[in-house]
Structure formats: structure tokens, C-alpha cells
Amino acid sequence: MLRLEGVDAFYGDLQALFGVSFEVRDKEIVALVGANAAGKTTSIRVVSGLVAPRGGHVLFDGADLASVPAHRRVELGIVQVPEGRRLFPFMTVRENLLLGAHTERARAEKERTLQYVLALFPVLGERAGQLAGSLSGGEQQMCAIGRALMARPRLLMLDEPTLGLAPVLVGRIFETVRTINADGVTILLVEQNVRQALTLAHRACVLESGRLVLSGPARELLGDERLKRAYLGL
């Protein structure tokens, strides 16, 4: 479904990705793991179009995304939940969710998707009229995921969805990601909770200093002592 081929990306003069290649197949959960500043977020931003790669290709369903601006990629089904949730703080939960259904494709199914999201996160229904900025961290994350789901993603990219959440909520978020995947959405997950991410994911890619150093079935990586010591700090 998604393939990166030798992607180089920069922030100004600073190179953040060096020839990164990996693949996400249909209906998979792929975890992107690695230390801070390894290039995980950059990889996701290259796919969503917020960062333009200077070299290499990003292919979605076999088509090169180079000439597709970020907002058009949402229409193709590529939806990112950004790090730090990035809700619209002065709008209500309901308004945030409805904004997720902006593309024509999503708008047609708005009501049905909203029912789905509210069933997934009942608390969002209770908080519908509240300003998104007034929610707790966990509720905000649910709202951010709910908003992304409103766009009817085919590939959902989650950037550190459990950052700063209490352990009990971390479990809930992972649970939800599994449910969303079971409902047919392909997932690309950036996580610092490596052990839980590898337990959840089918496959994983390990990044270090902007380079892909390892990839394979998540369970194998989880059992690899050398990998654990070298890259995952477990």
C-alpha cells in the first residue's frame, strides 16, 4: 500500500532521513521505533506531505506522491494523527470531529462515521459540547484519533499516541488501535513504548539517526536480544 524508496529529507540544512526505505502492506500494523531524533516523525511527515523529501520516492498504491500536496493526500486515504494531538483548542469536540470529515469522500459518510467514532470513544459523546482544549490528555488523544477516523483513512498514521498518558490509558489506546485495524484500516505507528508497540504490530522498522537499521516481523524483533540492547534500551 505504502512504499518509501530511498527517501532523503532535510530540515533546512539538517538532514533528518538518509535513504530510508520501507513498506506498509494492506491491513497491516507497522511500528516505527527508535530513539529520539531517529527520524520517525519525519518519516510520517514525509508520507503526509508536511515535509517534502529531497531525494527518493513515496509511493501510495503504486503512485508517486511527489506532486500531490498534503491536503490532497487525505482524499487518497492517508491520514495522520500528529504528535501532541494538535486539536483545534477553541472549538468543541463535536466541531473537531466534524472537521475531520472535510474531504468529499468523508463528508458523504459523515453521520455513519460519527456513530462509529462515538461507539469507539463513548466519552467523546459526553464531551461533545466542550471545548477541545479543556479535555484531559487521554480524552484529547481519543478526540484526535476520532477526528482522523472521520476522514475515513485507509492508512492511519499515529505519531506517539500514548505520549504523556497514564499507563491505564496507554493500554486503552493500544486496544483501540487494534480495533481500528481489525475494522480494515492499515496502521503506521510511531511509538516510544517499544515493547507494547512490538506486541501490537505485525511488523516493525527500526530507525537510528535517520537510517533504517532493521526491519522484520515484530515478534522476532521483540525476541532479539542484540536489537533490544542496541536500539530499544530494553
Partner 1 sequence: MDPARPLGPAQIDAVAQLGVSTILLGGIYALIAVGLTLIFGIMRVVNFAHGEFLMLGMYLAFWSFTLWRVDPYFVLVVAIPLFFVVGLVTYVLVMKGVITASHNVQIFTTFGLSILLQNVALVAWSGDFRFVRPWHLSVALRIGGTTFNLSQVVAFVIAVVLTVALVAFMKWTHTGRVMRATAQDRDAATLMGIDTDRVYRLTFAIGIAAVGAAGVLVAPLYSVYPTAGLQFVLLSYVVVVLGGLGDMAGALIGSLIVAAVEVAGSYVFGIAWKEIFYFLLFILVLVFRPAGLFGQRGSETLGA
Which triple of cell numbers denotes residue 83? 504528535
Q: Which of 35/76 has CB closer to partner 1?
A: 76
Instruction: Kindly calculate the radius of gyration of the chain based on its CA atoms and give it in whole angstroms.
Output: 17
Q: How far is the CB of 177 from partner 1 (least distance, A)?
A: 18
Q: Which of 63/234 has CB closer to partner 1?
A: 63
Angle between the N-to-C axes of helices 137-150 and 167-182, in degrees from 0 to 180, rounded to the nearest 10: 10
Sites of contact with partner 1 (CB under 8 A): 48-50, 69-75, 79-80, 82, 86-91, 95, 98-100, 102-103, 106, 131, 147-148, 151
Q: Which of 11/90 has CB closer to partner 1?
A: 90
CA distance 133 to 86: 10
Q: Which of 89/216 has CB closer to partner 1?
A: 89
Q: How far is the CB of 147 from partner 1 (least distance, A)?
A: 7
At residue 80, the 3 state secondary structure works out as: strand
Query: What count of other Cβ atoms lies within 10 Å of the Cβ of residue 185?
Result: 20
Which is it for strands 2-11 and 55-60: parallel, antiparallel or unpaired? antiparallel
Q: How far is the CB of 123 from partner 1 (least distance, A)?
A: 21
Q: How far is the CB of 231 from partner 1 (least distance, A)?
A: 29
Cβ-based neighbours of 230, under 8 Å, separated by 6 or more = none
Q: Which of 23/95 has CB closer to partner 1?
A: 95
Q: How far is the CB of 106 from partner 1 (least distance, A)?
A: 8
